[in-house]
Amino acid sequence: MVVFDEIAEQTGDDQWDEWKRRVLDASDEIASFVARCRSGGDAEVIDWFEGSFNFCLRVTFNKGNSDAIIRFPGPGHTTFRDEKITNEVQVITLLLERTTIPVPRLLSWGLTADSPHHFGPFIISDFVDGIHLSDILKDPADKKCLYLNPNIDRQILDDVFEQIAGILLQLFQLDFPAIGAISKDSTSNTWSVTGRPLTYSMNELATTVFFPVDKFATGPFESASTCFRFLSHQHITHLWTQRNLCTNPKEAQKQYTARHLFALLTEKYSINAHGPFRFFCDDFRPQNILVDPKTLRITAILDLEFTNAMPSQYASEPPWWLLLAGPDSYLLRGRSIEEFLAAYEPRLEQFLEAMGRVERKRG
């Protein structure tokens, strides 16, 4: 398993903390800015919260409007911030146009140059009430809230899985002829792939291991095999550029072997190599899903910034988050792959049954 470069991680955390302090110091100014972007009048920040990449402020208004959220991706934890926000706005717009997937209504957005004190690009959207689905599903005995409750009521999971299956099926129906970030042509009113696929992995490499960002993709890919070949080169670059990548020779050998085997397999497993390519969100997981705590109905899907048209395998593979934590988290915390599979496979079967029920209902 690859660990972060501690110096890179600490540098990023320091940047984030200093930037967050400046944002909070300017909360009154930000509230006024949000009010101007909406309908004017007095406004104030009444709450704030942060995720892995984004910092959010909740703003309330004196004119009776519903509350709004302004969300900034923060330096130190995110790279290519303007690109990230631009991509996410396009994704939200498409989903609102073509699906019934619940996403917060977009009120305004802008790039770094448009924001107060150039704090960064931003999205202003309706505040959506709810709690994170992961808070419902988590194991109460797990202090770090990483793992699924092994004793959770099966009916709760059935209800949740059916809703998520419906969302994934809608995403799967959005297909494109190339791999990358999508945008809408204002003249023809059509959607197409126009940018490189900005992924969760790219952001992690750029912020936590000093990966050379000029080695990332610069545009869309026309085929799955081309995309996978480029990804294999990226894996090799990571191997040679991250300091202290491994803690012992045996682990280093595993990292080297895995990367070169991946390169050999790219042609063999490029299914539907020339498309169509399916919509896929790297960061889709229960931690980014809001639900009504009483009914468990999904109220919002959040954090869609790493959503791209991707090779169909991405959207067709079993979800990694069925236990909340993926296999990498199990292994990093001393659990075995056998323990992971023993817990995962029954939940996968349950999820596939839910997917089948949703497909049959839709005909």
Does 112 lie in the same domain as 151? no
Residues above pLDDT 90, as percent of the chain = 80
Does 196 lie in the same domain as 117? no
Whether pLDDT at 63 is above 80: no
- CA 112 → CA 62, 109, 317, distances in Å? 27, 10, 36
Helix axes 6-25, 27-38, angle to 10 degrees: 70
| d(C-alpha 82, C-alpha 344), whole Å | 37
Number of domains, the chain: 2
Domain of 64: which CATH number? 3.30.200.20
Which H/E stretch holds residue 345? helix 337-362
Q: What is the pLDDT of residue 243?
A: 85
Phi, then psi, of 72 in degrees rounded to 5: -115, 135
CA triple 274-277-280, angle to 5 deg: 150
CA triple 277-85-214, angle to 5 deg: 75
Does 157 lie in the same domain as 112? no
- CA 346 → CA 58, 147, 226, 294, 352, distances in Å? 39, 15, 35, 26, 10
Q: What is the pLDDT of residue 336?
A: 86
Query: Which of 100, 127, 154 is the endpoint of a domain?
Result: 127
Which H/E stretch holds residue 173? none
Query: Which of 127, 148, 171 is the endpoint of a domain?
Result: 127
**pLDDT confidence of 281, banded at 50, 70, 90?**
very high
Please name which of 107, 125, 176, 79 lies closest in space to residue 290, comparing C-alpha atoms.
125
Q: What is the pLDDT of residue 363?
A: 77
Does 112 lie in the same domain as 162? no
Three state DSSP letters for 227-250:
HHHHHHHHHHHHHHHCCCCCCCHH
Does 64 lie in the same domain as 114? yes
**pLDDT confidence of 2, banded at 50, 70, 90?**
low
Q: What is the pLDDT of residue 226?
A: 94
**pLDDT confidence of 282, banded at 50, 70, 90?**
very high
| d(C-alpha 133, C-alpha 301), whole Å | 10
Does 157 lie in the same domain as 29? no
Does 300 lie in the same domain as 163? yes
In a domain, 200, yes or no: yes
**pLDDT confidence of 85, banded at 50, 70, 90?**
very high
Q: Is the pTM of this model over 0.95?
A: no
In a domain, 259, yes or no: yes
Does 110 lie in the same domain as 136? no
In a domain, 2, yes or no: no
Phi, then psi, of 253 in degrees rounded to 5: -65, -40
Q: What is the pLDDT of residue 144?
A: 74
Q: What is the pLDDT of residue 330?
A: 81
Does 174 lie in the same domain as 76? no
Whether pLDDT at 78 is above 60: yes
Q: What is the pLDDT of residue 25?
A: 98
In a domain, 340, yes or no: yes
In a domain, 27, yes or no: yes
Domain of 328: which CATH number? 3.90.1200
Whether pLDDT at 38 is above 70: yes
Residue with more model confidence, 272 or 128: 128
In a domain, 122, yes or no: yes
Whether pLDDT at 323 is above 90: yes
Task: Tell me the residue type at 266.
Answer: T
- CA 18 → CA 11, 52, 130, distances in Å? 11, 16, 29
| d(C-alpha 284, C-alpha 289), whole Å | 8
Please give the average per-residue pLDDT across 252-272, as a whole number. 87
Its domain, for residue 103, covers 8-127
- Contact present, 90 and 182 (Cβ < 8 Å): yes
Cis bond upstream, residue 140 (ω within 30): no
As a residue count, the chain comes to 363
**DSSP 8-state symbol, 179:** B
Indicate the average pLDDT of the chain.
Answer: 93
Residues 6+ apart with CB under 8 A from 349: none
- CA 324 → CA 76, 133, 317, distances in Å? 25, 10, 16
Please give the average per-residue pLDDT across 164-183, as a whole number. 96
Query: Which of 127, 162, 178 is the endpoint of a domain?
Result: 127
- Contact present, 43 and 67 (Cβ < 8 Å): no
Whether pLDDT at 82 is above 90: yes
Please name which of 142, 76, 188, 179 lies closest in space to residue 343, comparing C-alpha atoms.
142
Ranges 2-6, 83-87, 92-96, 124-128: which has the least confidence:
2-6
10 Å CB burial of residue 242 (0-12, 13-18, 19+) is buried
Ramachandran sector of residue 66 (left: φ over 0; alpha: ψ -120 to 50; beta: rest) = beta
| d(C-alpha 160, C-alpha 156), whole Å | 6
Does 88 lie in the same domain as 67? yes
Whether pLDDT at 182 is above 60: yes
Please give the average per-residue pLDDT across 343-347, as a whole number. 95
Give pLDDT tens digits for 288-306. Answer: 999 999 999 999 999 999 9
Whether pLDDT at 135 is above 90: yes
Which H/E stretch holds residue 10? helix 6-25
Does 72 lie in the same domain as 192? no
In a domain, 1, yes or no: no
Please give the average per-residue pLDDT across 20-33, as a whole number. 98
**pLDDT confidence of 149, banded at 50, 70, 90?**
very high
Does 121 lie in the same domain as 57? yes
Whether pLDDT at 1 is above 70: no
Please give the average per-residue pLDDT across 48-60, as a whole number. 96
Q: What is the pLDDT of residue 225?
A: 92
In a domain, 28, yes or no: yes
